[in-house]
């Protein structure tokens, strides 16, 4: 196995097209069964966008591990590199009997290619898994601060405290404002963490994958969904949506130890969220799914990460700037750095933790 330092210098790609090409090649070289589901849009250079899936192990295996990258498109730079490393380092040769591994590369290829967190519909995929036939979740505080969250005017590159949001925090409290910003909202299509009005292409694609690979019949399913942008720099926290006493949480502790965190209770920016991709898996396999968000910290949520997100939403929702404009380039660079730091130490930490979590998940599945 290649040293993590050497691997970290090599496996992360500079753009979606490169990442996709490398993933598909490595998957074929490893002997996997590869398929692609084409996205209706194209990338910045007119390239085809697709979610690629590779499987290893028997289709009738009673247990499965699903690894997902780019739920939030720009975070795919990290997740794709972790998936590629597993393929290139002989991971498929170490899969236990009666376990199938399904690697889903770029479930949100449009966001990955265009360096956005959202899908082509402008939707946060991790807020899109709600029942649209029922009344949608409400977020009254976001409605009050929506114009402060994505203002009419923006100065690219600024990381100064924002007077409007600071005023909102003084009025409503810091933690309530943070929770309102990240929880998910269904009223402002160009706003932050927008959940949409119907299932997105990416959601429908994931549901197709779950059906095609018969996830609902598996005895046990482990899921690793790669994310970045929240937590301590370079540290990969395993965040579990299930309650502390649930079957899935107890399974998570057996697999990964007591370091797993119950999502929504560790800090304000980890507060309750609606429409998580977790719901898509739970809908078909219930508590037989142990779903972990492997969340890698980058920079402080505020101002760095949140400012980068606000700038990107201003860029696409209000500015009308072309891709050649210097401010467009500056905003994109800030967003990419906020979710994919250009530093060897960060990438080495990411890769070490990915190898550890995948190994422990497969061992846990084997023991079930």
The torsion angles phi and psi of 244, rounded to 5 degrees, stand at -60, -30
Q: What pLDDT, on a 0 to 100 scale, did the predictor assign at position 158?
A: 73
Buried b (16+ CB within 10 A) or exposed e, 160-174: eebeebeebbeeeee
Helix residue ranges, H only, the chain: 4-8, 16-29, 76-88, 109-113, 140-149, 163-172, 174-182, 201-212, 247-256, 277-285, 306-314, 326-339, 344-367
Q: How many residues does the chain have?
A: 368
Nearest to 231 by CA among 177, 271, 184, 270: 270
Q: Which two tokens stand for residue 267?
A: 């800090």
Superfamily of domain 4-127+198-301+338-367 in CATH is Zn peptidases (3.40.630.10)
52-70 pLDDT, tens digit per residue, is: 999 999 999 999 999 999 9
Could you tell me what percent of the chain has a pLDDT over 90? Answer: 85
Q: What is the average pLDDT value for the chain, to the nearest integer? A: 94
83-105 pLDDT, tens digit per residue, is: 999 999 999 999 999 999 999 99
Q: What pLDDT, on a 0 to 100 scale, did the predictor assign at position 254?
A: 96
Q: What pLDDT, on a 0 to 100 scale, did the predictor assign at position 162?
A: 79
**Which comes out higher in pLDDT, residue 179 or 294?**
294
Do residues 249 and 263 make contact, with C-beta atoms less than 8 angstroms apart? no
Nearest to 82 by CA among 203, 253, 224, 205: 224
**Which comes out higher in pLDDT, residue 5 or 264?**
5
Neighbours of 253 (CB within 10 A): 15
Q: Lowest-confidence range among 129-143, 168-182, 267-281, 348-362?
A: 267-281
Q: What pLDDT, on a 0 to 100 scale, did the predictor assign at position 48?
A: 97
pTM of the predicted model as reported, rounded to 2 decimal places: 0.96
- Contacts of 226 by beta carbon, 8 Å cutoff, 6+ apart: 67, 68, 69, 71, 75, 78, 79, 82, 83, 294, 296, 354
Q: Which two tokens stand for residue 148?
A: 């402060």
Measured CA to CA, the distance from residue 173 to residue 271 in angstroms comes to 14
Q: Rounded mean pLDDT of 208-227?
A: 98
Q: What pLDDT, on a 0 to 100 scale, did the predictor assign at position 270?
A: 54
Q: What pLDDT, on a 0 to 100 scale, did the predictor assign at position 155?
A: 85
Could you tell me what percent of the chain has a pLDDT over 70? Answer: 97
145-156 pLDDT, tens digit per residue, is: 999 999 998 888
Q: Lowest-confidence range among 90-99, 183-192, 300-309?
A: 300-309
Nearest to 226 by CA among 292, 167, 161, 274: 292
Q: What region does 74 belong to: left with phi over 0, alpha with psi -120 to 50, or beta?
A: alpha
3-state secondary structure of 152: coil
Answer whether the bond into residue 299 is a cis peptide, omega within 30°: no
DSSP letter string, 6-30: HHHTTS--SSHHHHHHHHHHHHHHT
**Which comes out higher in pLDDT, residue 24 or 270?**
24
């Amino acid at each position: 196995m290649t040293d993590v330092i050497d691997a970290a210098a090599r496996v992360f790609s500079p753009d979606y097209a490169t990442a996709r090409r490398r993933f598909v090649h490595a998957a074929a070289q490893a002997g996997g069964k590869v398929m692609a589901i084409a996205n209706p849009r194209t990338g910045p250079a007119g390239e085809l966008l697709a979610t690629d899936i590779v499987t290893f192990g028997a289709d009738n295996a009673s247990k499965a591990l699903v690894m997902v990258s780019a739920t939030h498109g720009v975070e795919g730079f990290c997740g794709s590199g972790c998936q590629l490393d597993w393929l290139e380092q002989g991971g498929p040769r170490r899969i236990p009997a009666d376990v199938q591994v399904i690697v889903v590369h770029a479930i949100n290829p449009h966001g990955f290619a265009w360096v956005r967190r959202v899908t082509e519909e402008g939707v946060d995929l991790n807020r899109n898994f709600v029942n649209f036939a029922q009344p949608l979740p409400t977020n009254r505080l976001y409605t009050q601060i929506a114009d402060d969250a994505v203002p009419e005017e923006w100065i690219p590159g600024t990381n100064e405290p924002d007077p409007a949001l600071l005023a909102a925090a003084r009025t409503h409290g810091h933690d309530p404002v943070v929770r309102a910003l990240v929880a998910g909202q269904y009223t402002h299509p160009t706003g932050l963490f927008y959940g949409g009005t119907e299932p997105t292409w990416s959601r429908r694609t994931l549901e197709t994958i779950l059906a095609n690979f018969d996830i609902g019949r598996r005895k046990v399913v482990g899921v690793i969904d790669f994310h970045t942008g929240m937590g301590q720099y370079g540290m990969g926290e395993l965040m579990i949506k299930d309650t502390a006493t649930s079957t899935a949480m107890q399974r998570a502790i057996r697999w990964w130890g007591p370091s797993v965190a119950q999502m929504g209770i560790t800090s304000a920016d980890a507060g309750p969220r609606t429409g998580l991709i977790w719901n898509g898996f739970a809908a078909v396999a219930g508590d037989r799914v142990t779903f972990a968000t492997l969340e890698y910290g980058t920079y402080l949520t505020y101002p760095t990460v949140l400012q980068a997100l606000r700038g990107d939403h201003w860029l696409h929702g209000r500015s009308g700037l072309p891709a050649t404009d210097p401010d467009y380039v500056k905003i994109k660079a800030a967003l990419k750095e906020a979710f994919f730091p250009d530093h060897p130490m960060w990438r080495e930490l990411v890769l070490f933790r990915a190898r550890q979590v995948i190994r422990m998940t497969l061992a846990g599945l084997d023991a079930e």
